[in-house]
Structures are given as structure tokens and as C-alpha cells.
Amino acid sequence: MNASRIAVIGEALVDIVVGGSAHAGGSPMNVAVGLARLGRPPVLHARIGDDAYGSTIRAHLAADRVGIGAHTLVDGPSWTATAALAEDGSAEYSFALAGEIAVPELHDLALVHAGSIGALREPGSSALLAAYRHAPAETLRSFDPNIRADVIGPADAARKRVFELAAAAHVVKLSDEDAAWMRPGTSLDEILDEFAAGGTRFVAITRGAQGAVALVDGERYERPALPVDVVDTIGAGDAFMSGLLFGLLRDGTDRLLVEGAPIPPENVLAALDTALASGAITVSRAGANPPRPAELEERLAAARAVSSGDDR
């Protein structure tokens, strides 16, 4: 599958630590890099300025051969997220988000993924919703809200938009923190049910060290997290997302989803295990650094060996 058949829509920005480093980031861009490293290079549709930060982003994308979509390179500043670190290591973020992301027409695509700030800020959010609703039937549509509550506008409107985009997608992934923001005090099972009732066939919720749960065509799944020494959790959810999409593409589950065909349980479990392995590798090292194929296969093989031993 070539780059022209996979698109990722959303922010590419530079994460700046006050008094420290600056590096390329943004949830959708991390997913794009993760897919590219696993041999499924996409085209990224974002907003990249002509400043020094834009040069940093372009170099990061070029290193993993991520394509840059039309109308992505613009005059003006790039998006940035500045983190002020407290003594306990917690961070307070401020965002500079000038301009909007141009949403492409979704033609001749096997897969389109969108999420986070770029998917929920207007006017781009309405354009994305229209594009998802009118996408060709054969295009797998994926969505990760990755909630950033302080920059996506009024909460009630943002919640409504998340459900609207999810209803137009085949695959939705969110974190337990996203779920708690969407429906405070609601169980994860109830959240899964609500997304599924809207029409999403494959809904997954990540739970950090507790692994992930999913609801696929009315069937519930739960998979444990893989044992890992955590360095940091930056980009963990994005690595899960790219691993999940890779697993769906690898096993042909993407075609079953768009065709409305039954999804074998073993396909669901394989996709979730691939996603969890991708996330585990990423948290074992600093920064948003998703795995390459050999690393992923090694981690999956190790997990299978442990599972086989437990079954004896």
C-alpha cells in the first residue's frame, strides 16, 4: 500500500519545554510516524509554517518518509505547545495555534485517520465531519479524540462533535481520561456502549497499566498491558493507535470493517495485542518514539511465548 492511500489529518506542532528542549510532536503526527515506521507511510495533512519550528517538523517527517499533503505548508507560524514544568515533574501547557488545518477530499484512500486538536477546533472540525460523512464507502475511517479541553472550545459542543465524528468512523480509540471527560462518573462499559450505539464498529479504550478494553460488533474484549519498565508515557496512546491501525491493515480486518462483514475474534485480539505491544515499546524509552517492524515482532513474539507458558 503506497502513501497516497493512507491519510492522517490533524496537528503537527513543536513541543517546547521552558528552559529546555524543543521537538516535533502532536498526536496525529505521531500516529503518522508510527504508521510509516511499520511500513504503511501516510500523507499527513496538517498546518506547518515557514518558520524554524516548521523546519523542525518537516525534518522529523522526512526522516520517516511521511508525505506532506497539499495546503499543509503555509506562510506564517507553526503550531506550538509550551510546557512549564513544576518541581514535581507535572507540566502546565500553553498553545499557540494560529490558523486552521485544511481538510482534504477523501478520494482513493484505503484509510484515513484524524484526531485531537486539529479534529475538534473550528472551522476545520466541521469540514472534517462533512468529509467523514461523505467519504467513499471503501475508505476505513479512524478517529482518536485525544481531548485537550483547554483549546477545543466549549465542552458541551466539543463532546457533541466527538460523538458526531465517532459515528462517522469505523474505528475509535480513546483513553480512560478522554472517557472520564466525555462522561464524568460513567463506567467504561457504558462509554463503549454509547459509542457503539452511535454506529462505530470498533471502539477501544486504553487504560494505561491496566491494558485496554474494546467493544466490536457487540462483543467485549479485554487485554492486559504488557510488562514494561516505563521511562515516560509521551506518545503512548499514539503508538497504540498506529499499532492498532497497522494490525487491522495487516490482517485484512480493515476490509471486513468497511464491508460490514463479521470480525473474527482472533482478528480483534491480534489488533489489540499489536497496539499494546507498540505502546509498551514506546513507553520503554524517552519521548514519542514508536517501534519499527523488527522491534514490534520481537515484542509480540515474547508476549506469545509468555502466554504459551502460562497456558501449560
As given in the structure block, the three cell numbers for residue 293 are: 517492524
Closest by CA to 171, choosing from 148, 204, 135, is 204
Of 81, 84, 85, 119, which Cα lies nearest the Cα of 103? 119
pLDDT in tens, 232-254: 888 999 999 999 999 999 999 99
Kind and range of the H or E element at 32? helix 27-37
Average pLDDT over residues 202-217: 98
Give the pLDDT score at 89. 55
pLDDT at position 178 is: 98
What are the start-end ranges of the E strands in the chain?
A: 6-9, 13-17, 22-25, 43-45, 67-68, 79-85, 91-96, 111-115, 140-144, 171-175, 202-206, 212-216, 219-223
Q: What is the pLDDT confidence band of residue 83, given thresholds at 50, 70 and 90?
A: confident
Instruction: Give the pLDDT score at 125.
Output: 96
pLDDT of the residue at 3: 40
pLDDT-derived band at 312, boundaries 50, 70, 90:
very low
Mean pLDDT for the stretch of residues 131-151: 97
Q: Rounded to an integer, what distance in angstroms lies between the CA atom of residue 53 and that of residue 78?
A: 6
pLDDT tens for residues 31-81?
A: 999 999 999 999 999 999 999 999 999 999 999 999 999 999 999 999 999
Q: How high does pLDDT run on average in the chain?
A: 94
| Superfamily the domain 3-311 falls into | Ribokinase (3.40.1190.20)
The whole-number pLDDT of residue 310 equals: 58
Q: Taking the domains of the chain in order of start, what are their residue ranges?
A: 3-311
Q: Is 1's pLDDT higher than 80?
A: no
